[in-house]
Amino acid sequence: MLSTTALVGYTNAGKSTLFNALTDSEIYAADQLFATLDTTLRRMNVPGEHPVLLSDTVGFIRDLPPDLVAAFQATLEETREASLLLHVIDAQAEDIDDKRDEVLAVLDRIGAGEQPVLEVYNKIDLDPTQAPRVDYGEQGEPVAVWVSARTGAGLDLLRAAVAARLDEAKSVHSVELAPTDGRLRARLYKMGAVIAEAITEAGGWRLDVNLGAGRWGQLLAEHPHLAAQVEGFLDEPAETG
């Protein structure tokens, strides 16, 4: 199953450089405002079962110029739909807190304020006192990773942190679809969410789907008949003997 993640952050933080380093692609990176004018999507390998999709987005900034609003529209969609946002921060910027807050304010404004965020402090190669590391939150989850997109330092930690955060965000749910739910079934397959399927006596399907809380909630809202027959979480503790 492919989860989507999006690089967000202030312009010039190093999103495109990081995108190239994580995906072996060649996206234009330049030391100028708004080098990235469009959203791009590529596959990124992380430890564990599945690669994830990573999108590079237009840089956030206070008072976005009008001609960038259209490009920003695509960014907005990628950002709202991503399972995890990677907030790239230039660790050497002087007004680092202001820029960070500005990005959070923009995320809020575009309706992505509740998305899970992993902070990526970039450009540590410019400060000899900084080394790659991971900061953990109260539940032991990675909340920030210190890296250099230019030298590649810390990118292995970043991939592992992304995998850990994506794992934690998902749960397996069991749903029963009626024979008339074929389109919904196709959509779940397209999302890469289906991990098991059985035919029901009624001629429909019983599916085990692996979805993040946001996607799952959205699905239940769109298909109230599923909500009525939800059986709760399937992941039972492994047998111990």
Ligand X SMILES: Nc1nc2c(ncn2[C@@H]2O[C@H](COP(=O)(O)OP(=O)(O)OP(=O)(O)O)[C@@H](O)[C@H]2O)c(=O)[nH]1
Q: What is d(CA 144, CA 6) in angstroms, rounded to the nearest whole number?
A: 15
16 touches Mg ion by CB under 5 A:
yes
Q: Which x/- pattern, by CB under 5 A, does the window 24-63 give for Mg ion?
A: -----------xx---------------------------
Bridge partner list, 43: 53
For residues 213 and 173, is the Cβ–Cβ distance under 8 A? no
Rounded to a whole number, what is the distance in angstroms from the first to the last CA of the chain?
30
Figure out which of the listed residues 5, 6, 8, 11 binds ligand X, where binding follows CB under 6 A.
11
Bridging pattern class, strands 84-90 and 4-9? parallel
Q: What is d(CA 103, CA 83) in angstroms, rounded to the nearest whole number?
A: 18
The distance of closest approach from Cβ of residue 37 to ligand X in the complex, given in angstroms and rounded to an integer, is 8
12 touches ligand X by CB under 6 A:
yes
Figure out which of the listed residues 16, 79, 115, 210 binds ligand X, where binding follows CB under 6 A.
16
Which tokens in the block code for residue 160? 């592992």
68 versus 175: smaller Cβ distance to ligand X: 68
Figure out which of the listed residues 102, 125, 141, 176 binds ligand X, where binding follows CB under 6 A.
125
Stretch (H or E) spanning 182: helix 182-190
Q: Which residues bind Mg ion (CB under 5 A)?
A: 15-16, 35-36
- Contacts with ligand X by CB under 6 A lie at 9, 11-17, 29-31, 33-36, 59, 122-123, 125-126, 148-150
